[in-house]
């Protein structure tokens, strides 16, 4: 079985890496806040347009018997672009949140390494 040698990191290198991760986390937190706001605006835009479409559909079919499901389907078909924008923004928000969780896990790992190095010296 081949062995691989790994270089041991110094305390200073680990601290520099922790600093870099903290900077990344701060940047991603700011990015997340912007994306969160965009997702909220996109959701509000979609829900407003859907409600307006539903009212128009209800008014236009008031003389016929249509089910609530049919009216909602018609409103969906008229507000589909706003729905798509909302879902894309929501996906970006979730991706940014996952990036923050990943950064936090990496930071925790580096803190553990730092503690291990301190205990060995």
pLDDT by residue (tens digit) across 78-109?
999 999 999 999 999 999 999 999 999 999 99
Instruction: Check residue 60 and give its pLDDT.
Output: 81
Structural tokens at position 59: 């008014």
Terminal alpha carbon distance of the chain: 31
81/9: higher pLDDT: 81
6/44: higher pLDDT: 44
Q: Is the pLDDT of residue 1 over 90?
A: no
Q: Which residue has the tokens 């894309």?
A: 88
Number of structural domains found in the chain: 1
Instruction: Check residue 104 and give its pLDDT.
Output: 96
Report the alpha-carbon distance of residue 38 to residue 90 in Å, rounded: 9
Instruction: Check residue 6 and give its pLDDT.
Output: 77
DSSP single-letter state for residue 7: P
Is residue 75 in a domain?
A: yes
Instruction: Check residue 59 and give its pLDDT.
Output: 81
Is residue 2 in a domain?
A: no
Q: Could you list the residue range(s) of the whole structural domain that residue 102 is in?
A: 22-116
Is residue 93 in a domain?
A: yes
Instruction: Check residue 63 and give its pLDDT.
Output: 63
Burial of 1 (0-12, 13-18, 19+ CB in 10 A): exposed
Is residue 3 in a domain?
A: no
Mean pLDDT, the chain, as a whole number?
Answer: 90
Is residue 4 in a domain?
A: no
Report the alpha-carbon distance of residue 22 to residue 104 in Å, rounded: 9
- Residue 63 is inside which H or E element, if any? none
């Amino acid at each position: 079985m081949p062995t691989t040698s790994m270089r041991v990191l110094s305390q200073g290198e680990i601290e520099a890496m922790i600093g870099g991760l903290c900077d990344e986390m701060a940047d991603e937190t700011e990015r997340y806040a912007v994306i969160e706001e965009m997702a909220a605006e996109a959701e509000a835009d979609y829900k407003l347009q859907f409600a307006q479409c539903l009212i128009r559909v209800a008014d236009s079919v008031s003389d016929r018997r249509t089910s609530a499901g049919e009216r909602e389907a018609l409103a969906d078909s008229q507000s589909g672009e706003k729905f798509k924008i909302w879902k894309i923004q929501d996906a970006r928000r979730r991706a940014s949140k996952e990036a923050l969780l990943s950064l936090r896990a990496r930071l925790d790992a580096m803190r553990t390494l730092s503690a291990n190095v301190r205990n060995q010296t």
